[in-house]
Amino acid sequence: MSKNELRRSVIAARSRLTVEEIKDNSAAVANRLLKHEAYLRAGTVMAYVDFRNEVQTEAIIKETLSRGKRVVVPITDVANKKLTPSQVLSFPGDLAPGAWNIMEPRPECVRPVRPQEIDLVIVPGVAFDTSGNRLGYGGGFYDRFLLNTRPDCLYVALAFELQIRHNVYPGEYDLPVHVLVTEERVLDFRAT
């Protein structure tokens, strides 16, 4: 199976989830993340805003704001294949549809944050393996962005169990995640 075939297969499987399954499984994922030591230690958390049946991040973003942590979400610059992290003070009030109709900060709510200030990045993805490798959507936006974070910044992926595959065919420039959280388990790939 090629990367593109795997991508299509997992997106199709994810699209068959019911609204109830997405809601319930997302709540289980959020519950596991919000108790994880890496999350608890992080002062600045970058989160994706979910779309197309991804693990929902609204509850995580709202809870993170309520705990007084700094929350940032990405602004996508499609032309330059670049993500700009921007601080969110009100969720979803600060946001409006952006690239690919994904919610991102409205122009008057853009508050850029340097990638080096982020302690934990919640990374989206199509599929993951049990070694922490990630198959994204094919644009390389996150792989390029993560290169600008601090060496001690943690990359955490949120996924439904159906997104976990034996092999996601990582390429030379694909960055693995440190922690993978699903509705059933937490896999920590950091050396102990």
Q: Rounded to two decimals, what is the model's pTM?
A: 0.95
Report d(CA 73, CA 5) in Å as an integer.
29
Residue 70 belongs to domain spanning: 3-188
Read off the CATH number of the domain in which 176 is found. Answer: 3.40.50.10420
Retrieve residue 143's tokens: 């792989």
Give me the phi and psi of 173, to 5 degrees please.
Answer: -100, 5
Instruction: Count the domains in the chain.
Output: 1
pLDDT at site 172: 85
pLDDT at site 40: 98
Tens-level pLDDT at each residue, the chain (192 residues): 889 999 999 999 999 999 999 999 999 999 999 999 999 999 999 999 999 899 999 999 999 999 999 999 999 999 999 999 999 999 999 999 998 999 999 999 999 999 999 999 999 999 999 999 999 998 899 999 999 999 999 999 999 999 999 999 998 888 999 999 999 999 999 975
Spatial neighbors of 112 by CB under 8 A, at least 6 apart, are 84, 85, 86, 87
